[in-house]
Amino acid sequence: MAGPGGAPTASMRTMVLVDGEEYLAGEEAASLLGVKRETLYAYVSRGLLRSYRQGIKRQRLYRRSEIDALLRLAPSSADDTAAGSAAARAIRPAEVPLAESWIRE
């Protein structure tokens, strides 16, 4: 996709396609999850998400399908209010805790 004037959009610059699989740079992955990059790294260290090295570069990539799966774990508050019923609120998938709650300096 191109932005106005044919310039690449930010998401084009941060998405890499390898063997038909989409990978995202850290900034894009963190943005989609709604967390800071530090939290993204904590998710990797806790085994909630995997990161992949891009060639010999230091940059880490995150598989788009894994980001999407992590997003499905914890529905947003907008989804909760849309569901509305007590039964829908009672059966909830495990939520991923914020990194700040389990990371020490």
Q: What is the CATH number of domain 9-93?
A: 1.10.1660.10
The whole-angstrom separation of Cα 24 and Cα 88 is 32
Domain boundaries, the chain: 9-93
The whole-angstrom separation of Cα 54 and Cα 15 is 12
DSSP 8-state secondary structure symbol assigned to residue 62? E
Q: How many other CB atoms are there within 10 angstroms of residue 22's CB atom? A: 15
Instruction: Pull the structure tokens for residue 16.
Output: 């890499």
The whole-angstrom separation of Cα 8 and Cα 50 is 27
The string of pLDDT tens digits covering residues 45-103 is 999 999 998 877 778 999 999 999 988 876 555 555 444 444 444 445 556 667 666 66
Q: Are 49 and 67 in contact (CB under 8 A)?
A: yes
Quote the pLDDT of residue 18. Answer: 77
